Structure 1
Amino acid sequence: MRALVAAAIGLAAALAVVFALAAMGSPSGSTSPKPLLTTVPGHP
């Protein structure tokens, strides 16, 4: 019985965290207009 109560408390806590993060929304930001500069190794 204690395991069931512990599981219910854990589930409630996890849902509270998920709902809190959803309420805050996604962070406002934008992507960089410059492309990432990468180098390709030369073939031997």
Structure 2
Amino acid sequence: MANRVVIGLGEVLWDCFPESRRPGGAPANVAYHAAQLGNSGIVCS
């Protein structure tokens, strides 16, 4: 499979957990998982 560039457009939110805060939101999650599959994941917020 060809290496693709996946760009997530939209807002980046903070997922707040009792022990930590992490960036999240649908565009960030899609870019993250695309990178885990060997593609390039970019977030533009």
TM-score, length basis structure 1: 0.32
Bigger CA radius of gyration: 1
* Structure with the larger RCO, 1 or 2 (CA within 8 Å, 6+ apart): 2
Greater strand percent: which structure?
A: 2
